[in-house]
C-alpha cells in the first residue's frame, strides 16, 4: 500500500459523489473535488499533510509575491515531488514505513513475533472517536465489542489523525532501539489546549490548499528554521538528535508529526504502540500552530497570551473578532493564511476543534462561516464587535429576569446562593442554562441576520437591517424567557409577570439608548481582542 499513489482519502466530487482518492490525485485532479468527506480533526490533519507536501515541492513560497504565482505551479511541482519520494510513502516498508517507526518491539533486542497477536494492540485504537478507555460512547456506540476491525484506508487516515490529535495519557510501553518508552504521553501538537483551528475554504480542494499556504516570510516570525518533512529526515531513535530536532522544532517537520510510535501489522488489524517524540507547545513557550488563534487575557491581574480554545458555551460567531485579527506584530491574531487575503475580500472560514480534558475526548466541533468583506474594515469589525457585546448584555438581562422569576417562586433561593460560596456562579449558570441555550441557539441559527446588517453598512439599507437585527435579538430574549419560565399556576403567573416586566422594560431602554457601552459579564470571560 503506497500512501502517495493508492486511494485512501475520502472526498466529494463537484458532482456530489463520494469517492476515495490518492495523494497524487489530490494535487493532479484537486479541482474536481469539492471538499473532503471527513471528521473535523481529520480535515485539519489532511490539510497539514497537503501543505507539507506542497511547501516541500515548491521550496516555498518565500514571500507574498511568490505565493501569487503558485496556482500555475502547484499541481506539477507536487506530483513531481510525490514521484521522487514515492518509496517513502510505502505503508509497510520494512525500513521506513510511512509515519511509523521501524525497529520497535515489546521486548528489548527481540522483534515481536508477527503470529503472537497477544502482544499487539488493535488498530481501532487509532480511531479517536471510538469508545475506548476514557473516550465516552458519545462518539461510538459499538465500543463494547472486543474486536474492532477497520479498513486499510481508514487505518491510514486514523494513523495520520492520531499523530496530530491524540491526547496525552497512559500509553503501552515498547522498546525503540534499546530505549523503553514512557508509560505516559503528552498531547500531540494539534490538540493542545483544545485549540481552535481556522482554515480558509476554497471552492475545491486544490484551491483550499493554495489559500492556506503561508509564505515563509510570515513563518519565520515564529520558527527559526523551515525544516524538512518527517519522511525526508526520519528519526531512527530518540538519540537521532538532528532528525528529532527537525521533527519537533521546525515548521515542515511539525506539520506531520511523530508523536506516537506505531508499527502496523502487515496481515492483521493490529499494531505496536508507544509514546514517541515530545513536541513543545505554545503553553510552554513555543510557536503557535499556524491555524491557531492567539488572544490576550488577564489571569490574576497579569496579562498573558493564550490560544483560543473550543468553548461549547461560546459560539464561533462570537469569537470572530479574535480569529480575524491580523496583527502586524504577530503578537495576537488568527491563522497566518489570513495575511494572504486582499483587503475587503470575503471568504469562507472553516473552524475545527477536538476538545479534551486530560486523556478524555469531550467533543468534536466544526463550523463554516461566510465572512463578508466588510469585516475587514474598521467600521465592520467595530460594529460586529459592538453587536456581540449587545447580545451578551441582553443574555445577561435575560438571566436576571429568570432569577427574578425563581426568587418569586422559591423563597429559599437567595439563602442557597449565600451558602454556595465560590460555587455561586455555577449555581446561577445552572439556573440560566435553559433560557441561555434557547437564546444563543436561535441567534446562531439565524446569524445571517447580523451578517446582512454588516454587509449593508455604509449603504442606505443599513438602518433597516440594523433594526431587523436588534428586533431579532430582543424577540429571541423574550421567547427564551417564555420557554424557560412556566406560567401555568396562579403563583407561576405572578412570578412570570414580574420577570417579564423587568425584561421587557430593560430591553426597551436598551433600544432607546443604542450608544450605551455594555460590559461583558460572562464569568471568566476576560479575553480582550
User: Per the structure block, which three cell numbers stand in for 502?
Assistant: 423587568
- Give me the pLDDT at residue 420, please: 74
Nearest to 359 by CA among 192, 195, 134, 130: 134
SS3 state of residue 185: strand
Q: Has residue 159 got a pLDDT over 50?
A: yes
Is the CB of residue 400 less than 8 Å from the CB of residue 431? no
What's the whole-number mean pLDDT along residues 168-195?
Answer: 91
Nearest to 521 by CA among 425, 405, 377: 425
Q: How far apart are CA 363 and CA 197, in angstroms?
A: 14
For residue 191, what are the contacts with CB-CB under 8 A and spacing of at least 6?
A: 41, 164, 165, 166, 167, 354, 356
- Give me the pLDDT at residue 512, please: 52
Is the CB of residue 195 less than 8 Å from the CB of residue 184? no
Backbone angles phi, psi at 489, to 5 degrees: -95, 160
Question: Which residues of the chain does CATH 1.10.132.100 include?
Answer: 377-512
Q: What is the CATH number of domain 377-512?
A: 1.10.132.100
The per-residue pLDDT for range 257-289, each reduced to its tens digit, is: 999 999 999 888 899 999 999 999 998 889 999
What's the whole-number mean pLDDT along residues 220-236?
Answer: 94
User: Per the structure block, which three cell numbers stand in for 490?
Assistant: 396562579
| Helix (H) / strand (E) containing 450 | helix 448-455
Flag the least confident range among 44-48, 76-80, 111-115, 135-139.
135-139
The per-residue pLDDT for range 349-388, each reduced to its tens digit, is: 999 999 988 778 888 999 999 999 999 888 998 999 999 9
Q: Has residue 107 got a pLDDT over 70?
A: yes
More confident residue, 484 or 139: 484
Q: Has residue 72 got a pLDDT over 80?
A: yes
Beta bridge partners of 169: 185
Q: How far apart are CA 201 and CA 183, in angstroms?
A: 39
Is the CB of residue 77 less than 8 Å from the CB of residue 57? yes
- Give me the pLDDT at residue 513, please: 43
- Give me the pLDDT at residue 328, please: 83
pLDDT band at 343 (very low <50, low <70, confident <90, very high): confident
User: Per the structure block, which three cell numbers stand in for 304?
Assistant: 498573558
CA distances from 467 to 124, 380, 450 (A): 53, 17, 10
DSSP label at residue 360? E
Q: How far apart are CA 116 and CA 111, in angstroms?
A: 11
Q: Has residue 229 got a pLDDT over 50?
A: yes
- Give me the pLDDT at residue 131, please: 57
- Give me the pLDDT at residue 216, please: 96
Q: How far apart are CA 511 and CA 509, in angstroms?
A: 5
Q: How far apart are CA 219 and CA 225, in angstroms?
A: 9
pLDDT band at 133 (very low <50, low <70, confident <90, very high): low
- Give me the pLDDT at residue 295, please: 93
- Give me the pLDDT at residue 518, please: 34
Amino acid at each position: 500500500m503506497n500512501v502517495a499513489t493508492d486511494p485512501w482519502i475520502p472526498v466529494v466530487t463537484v458532482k456530489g459523489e463520494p469517492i476515495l482518492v490518492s495523494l497524487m490525485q489530490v494535487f493532479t485532479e484537486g479541482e474536481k473535488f469539492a471538499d473532503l468527506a471527513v471528521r473535523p480533526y481529520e480535515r485539519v490533519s489532511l490539510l497539514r499533510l497537503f501543505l507539507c507536501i506542497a511547501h516541500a515541492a515548491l521550496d516555498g513560497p518565500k514571500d507574498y509575491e511568490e505565493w501569487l504565482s503558485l496556482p500555475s505551479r502547484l499541481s506539477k511541482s507536487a506530483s513531481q515531488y510525490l514521484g521522487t519520494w514515492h518509496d517513502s510513502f510505502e505503508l509497510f516498508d520494512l525500513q521506513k514505513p510511512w509515519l511509523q517507526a521501524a525497529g520497535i518491539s515489546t521486548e528489548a533486542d527481540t522483534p515481536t513475533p508477527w503470529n503472537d497477536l497477544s502482544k499487539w494492540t488493535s488498530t481501532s485504537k487509532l480511531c479517536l472517536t471510538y469508545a475506548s478507555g476514557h473516550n465516552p460512547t458519545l462518539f461510538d456506540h459499538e465500543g463494547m465489542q472486543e474486536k474492532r476491525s477497520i479498513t486499510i484506508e481508514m487505518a491510514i487516515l486514523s494513523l495520520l489523525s492520531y499523530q496530530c490529535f491524540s491526547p496525552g495519557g497512559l500509553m503501552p510501553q515498547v522498546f525503540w532501539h534499546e530505549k523503553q518508552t514512557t508509560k505516559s504521553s503528552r498531547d500531540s501538537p494539534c490538540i493542545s489546549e483544545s485549540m481552535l483551528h481556522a482554515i480558509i475554504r476554497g471552492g475545491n480542494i486544490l484551491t483550499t490548499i493554495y489559500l492556506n499556504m503561508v509564505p515563509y516570510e510570515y513563518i519565520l516570525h515564529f520558527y527559526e528554521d523551515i525544516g524538512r518533512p518527517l519522511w525526508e529526515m526520519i528519526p531512527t531513535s530518540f538519540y537521532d538528535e538532528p532528525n528529532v530536532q527537525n521533527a519537533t522544532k521546525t515548521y515542515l517537520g511539525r506539520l506531520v508529526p511523530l508523536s506516537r510510535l506505531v508499527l502496523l501489522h502487515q496481515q492483521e488489524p493490529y499494531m505496536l504502540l508507544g509514546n514517541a517524540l515530545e513536541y513543545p507547545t505554545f503553553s510552554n513557550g513555543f510557536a503557535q500552530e499556524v491555524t491557531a488563534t492567539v488572544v490576550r487575557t488577564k489571569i490574576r491581574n497579569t496579562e498573558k497570551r493564550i490560544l483560543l480554545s473550543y468553548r461549547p458555551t461560546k459560539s464561533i460567531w462570537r469569537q470572530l473578532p479574535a480569529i480575524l485579527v491580523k496583527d502586524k506584530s504577530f503578537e495576537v491574531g488568527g491563522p497566518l493564511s489570513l495575511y494572504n487575503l486582499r483587503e475587503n475580500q470575503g471568504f469562507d472560514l472553516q473552524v475545527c476543534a477536538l476538545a479534551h480534558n486530560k486523556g478524555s475526548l469531550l467533543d468534536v466541533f466544526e463550523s463554516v462561516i461566510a465572512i463578508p468583506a466588510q469585516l475587514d474594515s474598521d467600521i465592520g469589525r467595530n460594529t460586529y464587535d459592538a453587536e456581540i457585546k449587545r447580545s451578551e448584555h441582553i443574555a445577561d438581562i435575560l438571566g436576571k429576569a429568570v432569577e427574578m422569576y425563581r426568587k418569586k417562586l422559591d423563597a429559599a433561593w437567595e439563602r442557597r446562593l449565600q451558602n454556595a460560596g465560590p460555587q455561586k456562579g455555577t449555581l446561577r449558570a445552572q439556573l440560566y442554562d435553559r433560557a441561555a441555550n434557547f437564546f444563543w441557539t436561535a441567534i446562531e441559527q439565524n446569524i445571517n441576520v447580523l451578517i446582512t446588517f454588516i454587509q449593508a453598512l455604509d449603504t442606505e439599507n443599513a438602518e433597516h437591517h440594523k433594526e431587523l437585527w436588534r428586533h431579532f435579538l430582543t424577540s429571541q430574549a423574550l421567547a427564551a424567557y417564555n420557554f424557560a419560565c412556566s406560567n401555568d399556576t396562579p403563583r407561576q403567573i405572578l412570578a412570570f409577570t414580574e420577570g417579564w416586566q423587568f425584561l421587557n422594560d430593560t430591553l426597551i431602554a436598551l433600544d432607546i439608548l443604542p450608544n450605551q457601552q455594555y460590559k461583558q459579564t460572562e464569568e471568566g470571560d476576560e479575553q480582550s481582542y
